Amino acid sequence: MTNWQALEKKYFMTTFKRMPLTLDQGQGARVWDEQGKEYLDFTAGWGVNSLGHCHPAVVGAVNLQVRTLIQASNQFYTIPQIKLAELLVGNSCLDRVFFCNSGVEATEGAVKLARRYGKLHLNGAYGVVTAINSFHGRTLAMTAASGQRKFQEPYTPVPAGFVNVDYNNVNAVKEAANSQTCAVMLEPIQGEGGVNIPDDDYLKGVRDWCDGKGLLLILDEVQTGIGRIGTLFGYEQFGIEPDIITLGKGLGGGVPIGAFLAKEKASVFAPGEHGSTFGGNPLACAAAYATLHFIIDGDIPSRVKQTGAYLMSKLEKLATKFDFIAEVRGRGLLVAVQFDRDLSDEVVRACLERGLLLNPVKPNAIRFMPPLNITRRDVDEAITILDPVLAEVGKEMQKDGGSDRHQRTISEEGN
């Protein structure tokens, strides 16, 4: 057999910390490696495969479109693009949309739009306030926007115009803004930061303050959008309406696409001020339309809310068994388990060996972001794998003197 991992090391830039697994096929919440071993996938392409791998609605739409029209310049109108735009606007609080190829292109575009707004309406203001532990993408500008030193330090000096402040702190936003500020950009829930959830009144407080100052509020919904946390868009859970939102990841059901949407007042681009060669191409838009249509018609967000609550309850029971679990937190199917020490790699690798794929989002936290249409049976299977892995970790810690709490079995807990 071909040693694909050796070939990757020979040819590919060493930008990824990969797991020792070469995937070959996927269907639903399952993937198979090149030798045919099956895995339960609770990463879903980092939240991209919103309906699982190779969902029939997405496959059918792509098969039809690839035989019809794959790419066309945005010099011309194309039907899938317009249909997707209508569906997004019609099911959101926003009025206009621009399509691109990824989440980071969406956040870049949103910041460009905010700066254009600042030039036209705020005496040339261009600064954007973002949050510490945020993640807005890996372009040079979005590295500056992302409030994580580990992403910024390799590329200093990073572009000016961004200030990172404490998350979940309205006063920190107020204190950081000045006459050169045009917008505040926040994630409703910080995904890459470790699934950090703000107080219920945080976004409302920022929204009210932005309104008072005439600033734009951008919500980065690349991870929380398209049903991931139990509503079609994350902003719906916080009782506010943003001026601009960004989308990516799950929008295309596995096919690369990004988008940013804006209220009419913030939609200030003139022809030629922004563009994209591949953005909004017919193939990607057909996939995204099929994905979004299925999620809306099937009321998938409600299902996410229910299944997510079930997953949280199972993880919280594990937290009562293992004292090295410091916290379980999440909304919908964006969930993290935080440990009281750096155990993520160990736990994730052990789960991999047993057929469960998880994401070590932080050295001390693992993230669950499975397909939105997983079943309770899938959740039970994941817990059945995770539970003994944690038990083994706990035993090793006891040997090292790191934990002496009695670990009760599930049967002893009456579950």
Where do the H-state alpha helices sit in 76-201? 79-90, 103-121, 140-145, 149-152, 170-176
Q: Catalytic site residue 342?
A: no
Tokens coding 239: 């009782």
The C-alpha angle 119, 124, 127, rounded to 5 degrees, equals: 100
Angle of helix 79-90 relative to helix 282-297, nearest 10 degrees, comes to 30
SS3 state of residue 309: helix
- Active-site option among 41, 98, 220, 378: 220
Q: Catalytic site residue 404?
A: no
- Active-site option among 243, 249, 314, 378: 249
**Residue appearing with tokens 């739009």:** 113
DSSP 31-66: EEETT--EEEESSHHHHT-TT-BT-HHHHHHHHHHH
Tokens coding 43: 């990463």
Cα 388 from Cα 246, distance rounded (Å): 39
SS3 state of residue 350: helix
- Active-site option among 135, 238, 339, 368: 135
Say if CB 408 and CB 322 are below 8 A apart: no
Say if CB 42 and CB 348 are below 8 A apart: no
Q: Catalytic site residue 220?
A: yes
**Residue appearing with tokens 């995204």:** 288
Neighbours of 67 (CB within 10 A): 8
H-run or E-run covering 339: strand 334-339
How are beta strands 96-100 and 127-131 bridged, if at all? unpaired
Phi, psi torsion values for 258, nearest 5 degrees: -135, 165
Query: Which residues are tagged catalytic?
Result: 135, 220, 249
